[in-house]
Amino acid sequence: MAPGLRGGARLIPAGRFAPSPTGTLHLGNLRTALLAWLYARAQDAPFLVRIEDLDTGRVRERFEREQLDDLAAIGLDWDGEPVRQSARLDLYADALATLEAAGLVYPCWCTRAEIREASSAPHGPLPEGHYPGTCRRLTHEERSEREASGRPPALRVAADAAHVAFTDRVHGAQEGVVDDFVVRRNDGAFAYNLAVVVDDGAQAIGEIVRGDDLLDSTPRQLWLAERLSLARPTFAHVPLVLGADGARLAKRHGAVTLADRIEQGETTADVRARLAASVGLCDPAERPSPSELVVRFDPTGFTPPPSGPLPGL
Ligand code: GLU
């Protein structure tokens, strides 16, 4: 049966986990994957894995294999073969062409330092850190000068500081302003925000469950989905695991990967239980199976604690 089709021809929107194969998954990534899987499976929805491998400079093949092995080791399964973004460049090119045809794309020659400087102060409706649209307002001369420089431009959307509102299952009502974000980098790579929206649309992802570091990207992605006539998914942005110092979990925090924990004498069931217990899905002493967790998981009532360290780590 094709993913997405269960119970006859009724389309059940899928869930997904979309890791970038640029390193080993740590316990925070694994907890996000577990929760994305639980949201999907508790609603009897398909669950897909997508390999976000567009950043060719940082991607390593061995991480892809290792990440899939780690997901399977903690008891997660997925429908169909994982797709790789690197095999879907035509789809992103088509989407970009649609945006270009609608006059929604412009070239940007700004360097990182110029962007940092330009966005370091609030600009009208745009909060600090957002690109203020410098290259959209170039005079004819300024533009010719940049074109002649030979430096390839990035491509940005003209979003006109649009307001986008949405409801997140975990964070409630949200609203954000959309800046002129990049859809193709100046090295020619399609940007994360473009690829993710195209893929979530093409794969009929109905509910996006991911770390809440991406909550701020959601207005951009919803804006883009609308411009590309793609259905609006729902969202659950789940808390991140932090190190004891309050920073995002990273290698320097110690034994933070599945392999590290196994080396410390834990089993995969111990690790799954630790992840589940940290968001209130079981007692620390329990060792629930994946299917027991699915039965317990209530997508509408799940209220995880805020981002923080994993107890006992
Ligand atoms: N590939 C992204 C990451 O690993 C996740 C993108 C998403 O879930 O939207 O951070």
pLDDT at 297: 97
> Is residue 119 assigned to a domain?
yes
Picking from 174, 192, 210, the residue at the C-terminal end of a domain is: 192
pLDDT at 4: 43
Give the pTM.
0.93
Helices (H), the chain: 27-42, 61-73, 89-101, 112-118, 140-148, 192-202, 218-227, 258-263, 268-278, 290-296
Task: Quote the radius of gyration of the chain (alpha carbons, Å).
Answer: 21
pLDDT in tens, 1-19: 444 444 444 557 899 999 9
Across the chain, which has 313 residues, the per-10-residue mean pLDDT values are: 45 90 98 98 97 95 97 98 98 98 97 82 71 92 95 96 96 96 96 98 97 97 98 97 94 95 97 98 97 97 95 84
> Is residue 285 assigned to a domain?
yes
What type of residue sits at position 69? D
Report CA(88)–ligand 1 centroid distance (Å).
Answer: 16
Report CA(143)–ligand 1 centroid distance (Å).
Answer: 34
DSSP state of 135: G
Q: Which ligand 1 atom is the nearest neighbour of the CA of 17?
A: 8
Report CA(28)–ligand 1 centroid distance (Å).
Answer: 13
Together in a domain, 149 and 200: no
Q: Which ligand 1 atom is the nearest neighbour of the CA of 217?
A: 9
Picking from 192, 213, 229, the residue at the C-terminal end of a domain is: 192
The residue whose CB lies within 8 Å of the most ligand 1 atoms, and thus the one to mutate among 25, 26, 49, 52, is 52
Together in a domain, 81 and 132: no
CATH number at residue 277: 3.40.50.620
pLDDT at 122: 65
Residue 186 burial (CB < 10 Å; 0-12/13-18/19+)?
A: middle
CATH number at residue 140: 3.90.800.10
Picking from 192, 227, 249, the residue at the C-terminal end of a domain is: 192
Q: Which ligand 1 atom is the nearest neighbour of the CA of 29?
A: 4
CA 198 distance to own-chain centroid: 13
CB 181 within 8 A of CB 193: yes
- Residues with a CB atom less than 6 Å from ligand 1: 18-20, 52, 196, 210, 214
Report CA(22)–ligand 1 centroid distance (Å).
Answer: 11
pLDDT at 3: 46
Q: How far apart are CA 243 and CA 251, in angstroms?
A: 10
pLDDT at 118: 77
Number of domains in the chain: 2
Domain span at residue 155 reads: 111-192
Together in a domain, 16 and 79: yes
pLDDT in tens, 237-257: 999 999 999 999 999 999 999
> Is residue 136 assigned to a domain?
yes
